[in-house]
Amino acid sequence: HELRQAGFEPDWQRVETEAEYITVLWQCTQTGQIPDVILADYSLPQFDALRALHLLREYSFDIPFIVITGTASEEVMVECMKQGADDYLLKDRLTRLGPAVINALQEKKLRDERKRAEKALESHTEQLRPLAVRLAEAEEVERQRIARDLHDQVGQNLTALGINLNIIRTQMSKEAP
């Protein structure tokens, strides 16, 4: 009801045991049909939210994960958030469910955009690496050419100066007694 109030049309699947949950996660890896969000009751008789969150990370899924519980415990809330839960709601305050899901989905979208940007940057970096190598090689070739040109030009100028000095010395020795 709260999700519909927030504008969602939920299509959901309920699991109660760890085995069912693992089966659903495995099916997600096979079909590529990944849920938009996981809502997990903090404690079930056979299974709890922290174990579900651990398994989700083990399967390397980045799915928003919201823990819902009937008891308010700051320690439990902190532990859930440390383990990677996106939010923590009390069952008697489910009016926050819609906004919590919206927020979790927006954060997921930002993470996805950041990952895409990082991949694009990595790809561009890989494309630029050979260009940078070629640029460095071209710079080195140009440095060598300039050094050769300077060496040749300076050498020619020194030779010309030496010849001119010899001519001047010869003329001075003829003119001077």
pLDDT, tens digit, 9 for 90 and up, residues 17-34: 899 999 998 898 889 888
Q: Which residues pair with 90 in a beta bridge?
A: 69
Distance CA(141)–CA(129), nearest Å, equals 19
pLDDT, tens digit, 9 for 90 and up, residues 59-103: 888 999 999 988 777 888 888 889 899 999 998 889 999 999 999
Name the average pLDDT for the chain: 89
- How many Cβ atoms sit within 10 Å of the Cβ of residue 28? 16
What is the predicted pLDDT for the residue at 7?
93
Distance CA(66)–CA(37), nearest Å, equals 8
Read off the pLDDT band of 150 (50, 70, 90): confident
The pTM of the full predicted model, rounded to 2 decimals, is 0.69
